[in-house]
Amino acid sequence: MILKYPYLFFAAIYVTHIFFNACVIGVPVPEQVLDIKETLGGEDETQTESRQKLQWTVQRMRLSPQEKHLAASLKCSHGQNMSFLVFTFTGKEWATDDVLFYTTMEGLRSRAVFRLDVTSSGNRITCVYEEAEPDVFVEVALSRNRQILTINCSSRSKSEVLLCDVKNSQLEPVVVQPRQQDLLFFLEHWKRWLIILANTGPGQEYQVLLAPVSEPSMASWVPIFVPDPGTVIKDMEVIGDHCVLIATTSTNELILIVVPLTHPKEAYVVQLPSWVCAIETKKPGMAEEQQNVLEFLVSSPVQPPVSCCLHPDNRLLLSSRDGSSTKKQAKYFTTRLEVCSPDGTLVPVTLLHAVPVKGLRKAPLLVHVYGAYGRDLNMEFCPEKRLLLEHGWALAYCHIRGGGERGLSWHRQARVEGKLKGVEDLQTCLHHLFSLGVSAPSLTALTAHSAGAVPVGALCNRDPHLMQAVLLQAPFLDVLGSMENLDLPLTLEDREEWGDAVGNVKHRQLLASYCPLQNITPQHYPSMLLTTYREDPRIPLAGVLKYTDLLKKAIGTHISSNPKPGMSTLHILSHP
């Protein structure tokens, strides 16, 4: 398990033991294993030095497979300095495990893999892989059965995987398949075979393939499962002798597909409750990995996580949900719609509501959107969203092109030269909801974060009367300015998403045509709440401030040139 806490400061790390005695059974007792103050310096220090040391953050923690060692990476908030600490637990319940592979972040990029050998005579760190291409990110993963370790080198459009056999003491990485443009793939392990999820299926979508560990290159890949048209594979787990796929249907409903690896033609579908919008699989612990059970959580924005267990050997799906939670979920409706965009593409919309659709005409509506980088909208449980439903709101999730909801082609259609398709999808979704009698523009707010602000900001310029309010978190609004600035850490990588504003005139013109900042004009705009972060390297503060300044001026000009009786003068409050 990797725990990431990018914004929280820790002074210590604790591990909890459970002791059993005659008086109290199973009482958790925390034991402190790290005190940052002691680790990074002694007791004799000035007050200023003490404050600085307390601003080290715990970036990651990883427990060794047999739970003898805990590794933690610490980063100072004042710079790029990083410390890597390893703690050894003693006691008869811990086994031995002495090799750790890890990556480090340089700016916003992970580009190298290191090996840490923990021995009684001391620790040794060696670099085992270093990436040369500037748009490729590197990460390390262990197969579910803990038999192979992979070094995954990925960009937006290509993959390369290096394989390490855990049973081999040398742990030398071997290239599975050299990277090639538009080839994306991931690996799992089963007996003497690799189970490969690769975009070599129809339409360059994902399918499942098999290859021997001894001959892992693409020439040996054999397809064993191709999803039906309209079904999109989202993730893969290998459980015992079964490959379990998380997939979505054409209406964006989540399902499980179980492929028996010994008889792959006998694949079958496991239906999930219709309200399920998100799945999170659980990695097994040492005691659980031989049970051939997939444990996972299902949730929705308004339904807390429910624990489930899939037993693929006997086709059994068990849920921990009790009667009370079932009754609470019955209060809410999950309606899945398909909206026809101007070019004929059907765009999925998920509508969550507490009363039937016919009773939503006067309900306030919160619309969620993203549509970039091939990523799905986040539809995990959020208590605030459930509270809105309890107060009569409706929630709409528009799965516009540019995201990943309908597969890799869904992303390809709305990147670079197709970016305006996402804006058109969003506009059409809103019109369709209103035509169904769901809310009204005067009762509608749009919310997005990061790159999701691009279609929202573009729509505010095109059709500002479609919404009453907009809420944007860390919004990406100066798309053209960012893509022209080669000093920003993500500009080169993001060319595959937004285009090359420096070397391609056509790309620059397209960016300028929809960039939210570039197209602000004196007109009515919805009420806006923008939140951003002063030192966010992904979303430069300067672009958000520039957008805000231009927007205020445009609104002021509009009010001055179109005075109406009773209209008050525009007041702008600035907070440091």
The pLDDT confidence band at residue 524, using thresholds 50, 70 and 90, is very high
Q: Do residues 383 and 525 both lie within one domain?
A: yes
Q: Do residues 212 and 143 both lie within one domain?
A: yes
The pLDDT confidence band at residue 147, using thresholds 50, 70 and 90, is confident
**3-state DSSP: the chain helix, strand, coil percent, rounded to 5?**
20, 35, 40
Q: Is residue 527 in some structural domain? A: yes
Q: Do residues 362 and 385 both lie within one domain?
A: yes
For CA atoms 194, 195, 199, 200, give the dihedral sign: positive
pLDDT tens digits, 549-576: 999 999 999 988 877 765 544 443 434 4
Which of the residue ranges 108-117, 314-323, 567-576 has the most confident prediction, judged by mean pLDDT? 108-117
User: Residue 79 has what pLDDT?
Assistant: 52
Q: Is residue 131 in some structural domain? A: yes
For CA atoms 48, 54, 57, 58, give the dihedral sign: positive
Q: Do residues 354 and 478 both lie within one domain?
A: yes
Q: Do residues 104 and 88 both lie within one domain?
A: no
Q: Is residue 232 in some structural domain? A: no
Q: What is the mean pLDDT of residues 20-35?
A: 49
Q: Is residue 571 in some structural domain? A: no
Q: Do residues 394 and 537 both lie within one domain?
A: yes
DSSP code, position 569: P
User: Residue 385 has what pLDDT?
Assistant: 97
CA-based end-to-end distance of the chain = 38
In 3D space, the residue among 417, 429, 423, 379 whose CA is nearest the CA of residue 401 turns out to be 423
Among 26-40, 306-320, 494-508, the minimum mean pLDDT is found in: 26-40
Three-class DSSP category at 278: strand
Where does a domain end: 291, 321, 351? 321
pLDDT value at 243 more than 90: yes
Q: Do residues 383 and 308 both lie within one domain?
A: no
Q: Is residue 484 in some structural domain? A: yes
In 3D space, the residue among 14, 9, 8, 6 whose CA is nearest the CA of residue 54 turns out to be 9
The pLDDT confidence band at residue 516, using thresholds 50, 70 and 90, is very high
Which positions ≥6 away from 528 have C-beta within 8 Å?
Answer: 460, 469, 470, 471, 472, 551
For CA atoms 266, 272, 274, 278, give the dihedral sign: negative
> Which strands, in side-by-side order, build the sheet including 159-165?
137-142, 148-154, 159-165, 174-177
Q: 425 with 345: CB under 8 angstroms?
A: yes
- Helix (H) or strand (E) segment spanning residue 509: helix 505-514
Q: Is residue 475 in some structural domain? A: yes
Measured N-to-C along each axis, helices 505-514 and 419-435 cross at an angle, to the nearest 10 degrees, of 20
Which positions ≥6 away from 294 have C-beta within 8 Å?
Answer: 237, 239, 244, 281, 309, 310, 312
Q: Do residues 40 and 108 both lie within one domain?
A: no
In 3D space, the residue among 77, 72, 34, 82 whose CA is nearest the CA of residue 54 turns out to be 77
User: Residue 41 has what pLDDT?
Assistant: 52
Name the residue range of residue 119's domain: 98-226
Q: Do residues 31 and 153 both lie within one domain?
A: no
Q: Do residues 539 and 502 both lie within one domain?
A: yes
Q: Is residue 414 in some structural domain? A: yes
The pLDDT confidence band at residue 102, using thresholds 50, 70 and 90, is confident
Q: What is the mean pLDDT of residues 159-185?
A: 88
User: What is d(CA 396, CA 367) in angstroms, rounded to the nearest whole number?
Assistant: 5
User: Residue 276 has what pLDDT?
Assistant: 97
Domain count, the chain: 4
Q: Do residues 21 and 113 both lie within one domain?
A: no
User: What is d(CA 487, CA 470) in angstroms, rounded to the nearest whole number?
Assistant: 30
Q: What is the mean pLDDT of residues 41-52?
A: 50
User: Any idea what the CATH number is for the domain that residue 445 is in?
Assistant: 3.40.50.1820
In 3D space, the residue among 506, 408, 487, 478 whose CA is nearest the CA of residue 156 turns out to be 408
pLDDT tens digits, 50-70: 544 456 666 666 666 655 567
Q: Do residues 523 and 447 both lie within one domain?
A: yes
Tokens for 13, please give them: 């790390």
> Which strands, in side-by-side order, build the sheet including 56-63?
56-63, 69-76, 82-88
**Hey, how many other C-beta atoms are within 10 angstroms of the C-beta on 508?**
17
Q: What is the mean pLDDT of residues 9-15?
A: 41
Q: Is residue 233 in some structural domain? A: no
Q: Supply φ then ψ for residue 417, to 5 degrees.
A: -75, -10
pLDDT value at 95 more than 60: no
Among 60-64, 66-70, 181-185, 449-453, the minimum mean pLDDT is found in: 66-70
Where does a domain end: 226, 259, 279? 226
pLDDT value at 207 more than 90: yes
